[in-house]
A and B are shown apart, each in its own frame.
Chain A
Amino acid sequence: MISTNPFSELAGFIPPMAMQIYIIVMFLMVIGGTILDTIHKKSAKYFFENAKKAEKSAKRTVSGGQKMGLAISTVASEVLTSSEFANPIRRLSHLMTMYGFITFIVASVVLIFMHPTEAAAGIWPVLWHLGAALLAAGGYWFWFFIRVDVSSEGKTWYKLCQADIFIVGLLATSTFGLLWSATQGSVLGWVFFSLFLLSSTVLFSTVLWSKFAHMFFKPVAAYQKKITKADGSQENLPDLGELTDPALQARYPDIPEYMGTNPPYMGLGIKRERPNHY
């Protein structure tokens, strides 16, 4: 089953051209929604103003080469490995959801544009199914256990709010996609196909109201954070420094007096356990 292109059977009822137009329309809706979101929330304006403010309080100048290096490290670390998450469980769930979604979308585009009528289209049908399954696994893990509404706010998993449009859209799209693929050819298959179409349309057309656009502005925010660290402005945060540094110890004599000249590791502190005492 997972090696069969689910769009090939559909091509007997819906012309491949219609499916391709649908993909293009959804792509344009994501672009349009992101632009509208940026204008509405004034996020681009905020970023530029914040960057200018940070530049004014900079202690060092960051060269073009350094900026390029920071941009590359942002892509390699924050974007590709979701390193911004302090909680490893959230990070793993996010990675599963992110790579599942990317695989699912890329495979869908390849299948619809390059192999719309071929039942066996190489590795792509397998990737389509695995992507959807990975997205669903990471997404349901997040939805039932990790989502802050459930883990910290003490709300029930079925209590929905606007912030859930994106995750619900993702879960519904992947779940109904897989169910449609499994039941193709039957009446139930058409029901699941309708729900799959509806959920994917909701997912891609509600960017203005959902958290979809975070995948575009979060990397920019991470890059800006690295720049402020490199230029010393640090968004006005203090510099901890190296406790063994003699200059630091001369400036803050309490450190060597109470902690010794080679301060020991003091333990995990608040990180020793996960917060779940709502």
Chain B
Amino acid sequence: MPTFVYMTRCDGCGHCVDICPSDIMHIDTTYRRAYNIEPNMCWECYSCVKACPHHAIDVRGYADFAPLGHSVRVIRDEEKGVIAWRIKSRNGETDLNLLAPITTKPWGKEIPQLRNASAPSQDMRDSQLLYNEPKYIRMDEGGLHTLESNGLEMKAGVYY
């Protein structure tokens, strides 16, 4: 579901206008508050949600991880270096809080070098799986990706 703005929280600062990669967050000409001018084109990247200093932008999560009518909200606090999520069901019975360090990777260093990868075999072409699917989602071996397994460590500052 695309982004929407709580008008009482928005102060029309323009951070979302600046950060939106689709250039669809703009300022309303009647109230001077932000709004999504083209919801169909929003791919829910959450850039504006996380950049908004007043937490005035919200997005409904997908129904495959939370039933309809739920709320999924996020606060990305870069000064603390953490990101917090809260998923709450419509009736309030499920109220899930999550907190994790921000693990933004250095620019340009985590791009898969597909040029060096071998071409898919005929078996792989005939398979319903996408190219490198089991490997890249790491379901075949080695467990989940972690900073340690990738040879990385937390850096002071999430901006590389």
Contact = CB atoms under 8 A, between A and B. Distances in A.
Interface in B72-100: 73-75, 77-82, 84-86, 88, 92, 97-100
Contacts, number: 147
B9 interface: yes
B101 A221 contact: no
| Dominant SS among interface residues on chain B | loop
A240 B100 CA distance: 10
A151 B13 CA distance: 9
Contacts of B79: 265-269, 271
Interface string A249-270: 0011011001100011111111
A159 to B, nearest CB: 10
B154 A240 contact: no
Query: Chain A, interface size: which category?
Result: 35 or more
A237 B86 contact: yes
B65 interface: no
B63 to A, nearest CB: 17
Interface stretch (A67-75, A81-89, A132-140, A189-197): A81-89
Interface in B107-128: none
Given A57-B92, A266-B158, A148 B99 contact: no
B42 interface: no
Contact of A84 (B6, B11, B27): B11
B100 A252 contact: yes
A211 interface: yes
B31 A221 contact: no
Query: Chain B, interface size: which category?
Result: 35 or more
B40 interface: no
Given A225-B9, A238-B98, A211 B32 contact: yes
A236 B73 contact: yes
A57 B75 CA distance: 19
A272 interface: yes
A114 B104 CA distance: 64
A50 B88 CA distance: 17
Contact of A263 (B6, B80, B157): B80
A275 B19 contact: yes
B81 A263 contact: yes
A33 B29 CA distance: 20
* Residue in A252, A265, A266 whose Cβ sees the most chain B Cβ within 10 Å: A266
A271 B8 CA distance: 23
B112 to A, nearest CB: 24
B50 to A, nearest CB: 8
